[in-house]
Amino acid sequence: MYGYDLSEEQKMTLDMVKKFIGNELEPIAAEIDEKGEFPMHLYKKMGELGLLGLRFPVEYGGSSNGEEDFLLNNLCNELMAGASAGFTLSVGASTLLFGNNVLKLGTEEQKKKYIPPVIAGDRIGCWGLTEPEAGSDALGIRTKAVKDGDHYILNGQKTFITNAPIADYFIILARTTGGSGEIYGGSAFLLERGMEGLETGKPFDKMGMRCSPTGEIFMDNVRIHKSQLLGAQDTGFLGMMDSLDVERAGSGIINIGIAQKCLDIVLNYVRERKQFGRPLAKFQLIQEKIAAMYRDIELARAYTFHILDMAAKGKKITREAGVAKWFATEMGTKAALEAIQIMGGYGYMKEYHVERYMRDAKLLEIGAGTNEIQKLLIARFLLSR
């Protein structure tokens, strides 16, 4: 696929993913977008097929035997995003934002408790950093965790959290010491639905990614045992920075999937649609748009997959992840807009799906650190050398 040398095992998994997408996800993608409903039964089905556990070691119920198979994960996510970016976003929030952070930072007990139910598709996770007054200014969070003997007491509010309205498990970033803007003093905690004082709001009504529930989390004197601390106290922001590199680059893959799907749709359309007695495909201005879409998808995929491979080999990719995220996410929105333009009035209609891809793609320019923040980080690095 896309010129990558794949093992027989990787090809088999990809075939399974394609079948799952073609038979189960694609047929309902427009409906779940329209209704704003998360298809829990498909999340469960992915768990049963072993598709939620590709990145997790076998001892926690996954299928990885050591080094994480980033190539396979990336290809699966790209394909899935081409069918339903919203579903892919929610799956990513549960397995990557929640599951992978437990895997990287958790104690053995925490990994054994929280990872298997998530990758079996029985439980859904989320990751909460953003607050009403702290978005880009992530170190300005106001949620506080105060130590009380063997316990912590959490108070605060999170917003815009993917999966929050339906989540069973929550990773919550809170300040334990230090003041606003300080990198030390943040801590991550594992919370569960049903804990006293923990509530979530209704799913927000939003422009795109509509089948992925986004919402608020309220914590009013939530008292948790110190064993729910994820990673060392006061190092929560540092752990977050580390895992955010992969999550940022990974968010670009959703838009690569969207762009590829838009190109596929357009390639069929321009061969069929005739104006002035000729198929649209014959017009050079249309050809230029198609060639540019292809160029940008190829560049985004090659760079993003390359740096995720570097990360899998233990290299730090902070700056590269910013470049990949910025380029790939902007590229995805542009590709979807171009697809609409190429298809004219038909592109503007829901029937052809490209308008949905455009609405979905826009989110990734905002989430996981806005593209403006990526630009600032890149410039800061370059100017500091």
Report whether 151 contacts 177 (CB < 8 A).
no
Phi, psi torsion values for 233, nearest 5 degrees:
-60, 140
Is the four-CA dihedral 268, 272, 278, 280 of positive or negative sign?
Answer: negative
Query: Of residues 21, 76, 93, 198, which one binds ligand FAD by CB under 6 A?
Result: 93
Residues 6 or more apart whose Cβ sits within 8 Å of residue 284: none
Nearer to ligand FAD among residue 263 and residue 373 (C-beta): 373
Least Å from the CB of residue 130 to ligand FAD: 3
d(CA 270, CA 279): 6
Residues 6 or more apart whose Cβ sits within 8 Å of residue 239: 101, 104, 105, 188, 230, 231
Least Å from the CB of residue 203 to ligand FAD: 10
Report whether 46 contacts 91 (CB < 8 A).
yes
Which residue has 């970016």 as its token pair?
A: 85
How far, in Å, are 260, 345, 349, 360 from residue 341 at the CA level?
Answer: 16, 8, 12, 17
End-to-end CA gap in the chain: 39
Nearer to ligand FAD among residue 286 and residue 358 (C-beta): 358
Is position 59 annotated as part of the catalytic site? no
Q: Does 63 bind ligand FAD (CB under 6 A)?
A: no
Q: Which stretch binds ligand FAD (CB under 6 A): 129-137, 298-306, 316-324, 335-343?
A: 129-137
d(CA 163, CA 126): 6
In terms of Cα–Cα distance, which of 107, 118, 117, 78 is closest to 252? 78
Q: Which stretch binds ligand FAD (CB under 6 A): 70-78, 100-108, 261-269, 369-377?
A: 369-377
Out of 68, 78, 216, 247, the active site residue is 247
141: left (phi over 0), alpha (psi -120 to 50) or beta: beta
Least Å from the CB of residue 162 to ligand FAD: 3
Nearer to ligand FAD among residue 27 and residue 132 (C-beta): 132
Write the binding mask 217 to 256 for ligand FAD: x where contact by CB under 6 A, - elsewhere.
----------------------------------------
Nearer to ligand FAD among residue 342 and residue 364 (C-beta): 364
Q: Does 118 bind ligand FAD (CB under 6 A)?
A: no
Is the four-CA dihedral 68, 69, 71, 73 of positive or negative sign?
Answer: negative
d(CA 290, CA 311): 32
Least Å from the CB of residue 188 to ligand FAD: 12
137-176: which residues touch ligand FAD (CB under 6 A)?
160-162
Q: Does 380 bind ligand FAD (CB under 6 A)?
A: no
Nearer to ligand FAD among residue 64 and residue 370 (C-beta): 370
Phi, psi torsion values for 241, nearest 5 degrees:
-60, -40
Least Å from the CB of residue 376 to ligand FAD: 6
Query: Of residues 263, 367, 374, 377, which one binds ligand FAD by CB under 6 A?
Result: 367
Query: Of residues 127, 169, 189, 327, which one binds ligand FAD by CB under 6 A?
Result: 127
Q: Does 335 bind ligand FAD (CB under 6 A)?
A: no
Catalytic residue IDs: 247
Binding site for ligand FAD (CB under 6 A): 93, 126-130, 135-136, 160-162, 209, 214, 363, 366-367, 369-370, 372-373, 376
